[in-house]
A and B are shown apart, each in its own frame.
Chain A
Amino acid sequence: MQRNNNEALSTLVDGEHGKNKDILEDLVRDDAMKGVWKRYHLIGDCLRGNLPEKIYNNFIIEVNQHLKNDPAIISHKRAKQFKREPIIGFAIAASVAALAILGVQHKNNISSTEIKDTVVMNESIIDSKLETFSFPETHIRPASDKQSTQFHLITEKRLNNYLINHSKYKHNIKMNSVLPYARIVTIESEE
């Protein structure tokens, strides 16, 4: 029953109503189906590159947990009963979801050891092939500053020196005395 519902939902997400038109009514009543519906849309958003800017840790854990538990994704035997197109769609979606999650973390410049501290990643979801994937190095600086040329190093060093110099001037109200220093110690390395 669950399997059939998932299949019907997947066709609905793909823009087809399928044979079972009662699925919409079931969807309104059934909270579990609503959850599946949300996850399928999330996967669709991953595929289309419509993920939100910020993904929080518990959110990632939750997605991983659902991906792990969802029979439509990890159970190959059950997957055989699905139509071919949705299976391919889900396989790609699962890969993209994992990639997107990894991508978000790399974008945040968090090293692999730090990921372990903050996010519990499910080993079974991260395919070993994905680990060899190279991600473009990203910085918080504007696009024009990303090239690591000598020119940019010099101008960045100059700007960093200005920032350090600026931080020594405190305002009258010592409202947030640690903040100027916090900004300095988090300046990106000039190496």
Chain B
Amino acid sequence: MKFPYLFSLIFYICIHSIFARADNIAPDPKILIAEMSNATTELNYDGIFVYRYDKQIDKMRIIHKKNSNGDVHERLVLLTGNKREIIRDNDRVKYFFPENKVVIIEKSKSGQLISSHIPDTIQSISKFYAFDIVGQGRIVGLNAWIVNIRPIDRFRYGYQLWIDKESKLLLKSKLKNFQGVTLEQIMFTQLDVLGNIDDMLLKPSFSSKNFTLINNINDKTSAYNVSRKKWKPSWIPKGFLMSEYSIDPMPTSAIPVEHFIYSDGLATISIYVEKLNKQQPIRTGTTNFGGVNTYSLSTDGYQITAIGEVPKTTVQLIVNSVKSSP
């Protein structure tokens, strides 16, 4: 009579240990990142995260919603310092700077770059980055896989990601240089994955009536198809391909600016070539905004600037290699 009980107990222990192990078997990091990329868009969530770079720490709230018709709405609110907000409705992005009473409207270009075959894209990225699951962690009360993305050379940055085991959302990320020093970090301190999100939560908290509107969506590029010098970088890090070229109007520029966009799949580098009048001040040198480095120089009445989530050396080398041909 005791045998069935013993058998049941052994069976239960086996099944339990199999499931317990399954929960701890590390997934393929590339598939995990593809799942995270998908979850970031597809899920509805409301969270608070801290953003740290240099010696500064800021706190922000992100609310993300995808409607049943596929429309994506997002609101980012800066909770420390100036009360700035960013509202995104699909590819239309509004930046509110209330301290200057300015709203800037931009059109996000993500649709033109997103591949429908993300795993294939990750495969191509693998030539320049090594992906590894390095452990497990716990962020905002959720169990996470820790993924290291290490660059193969010093011309790009690496990443360390904490991805929620259940929802696959990104809970924490660190941008690291080649030596492993953290340059920039975000970490959620509160995160709710929700079935639905009230549309009221996606509205800006102030009216833009008294704001100066800077609309950069207008397509003025065709009006400026004047003969231009052909600028081109003669050096770009391996793996970076030109994904787009545009002539962008800028609020501070009399003439639209030539814009070359290069990407290796993870990092993006923009090269801006702007013709300036003799009276216009020209910036030269490097600056950084968190993990983004910029470098500018002037040549022949033009200001050439590279901006990207890459090391300072990379933007410097790129700008120094930009040459024109008549």
**Residue positions of A touching B, CB distance < 8 A:** 53-54, 107-109, 114, 140-142, 144-145, 151-152, 154-155, 157-159, 161-166, 168-179, 181-187, 189-191
Contact = CB atoms under 8 A, between A and B. Distances in A.
Given A145-B287, A173-B122, A184 B95 contact: yes
B307 interface: yes
B23 to A, nearest CB: 24
A159 B283 contact: yes
A157 to B, nearest CB: 5
A136 B321 CA distance: 38
B294 interface: yes
B62 A175 contact: no
B58 interface: yes
Interface in B127-164: 159, 161
Nearest to A54: B55
Nearest to B104: A164
Given A165-B270, A176-B170, A142 B55 contact: no
Nearest to B259: A165
What 6 pairs between A and B have smallest CB-CB spacing?
A: A170-B110, A155-B283, A166-B270, A185-B78, A185-B84, A182-B51
A68 B153 CA distance: 50
B110 to A, nearest CB: 4
B86 interface: yes
Contacts of A179: 51, 173, 175, 184, 186, 290-291
A170 B33 contact: no
B159 A175 contact: yes
A175 B115 contact: no
Interface string B174-214: 01000000001010000000000000000000000000000
Contacts of A176: 159, 170, 173, 186
24 contacts: A152-B281, A162-B257, A165-B216, A166-B268, A166-B307, A168-B106, A169-B243, A169-B268, A170-B108, A170-B109, A170-B110, A172-B263, A173-B265, A175-B173, A178-B49, A179-B291, A182-B51, A182-B60, A182-B290, A183-B53, A185-B60, A186-B51, A186-B78, A186-B290
B183 to A, nearest CB: 12
A54 to B, nearest CB: 7
Contacts of A109: 56
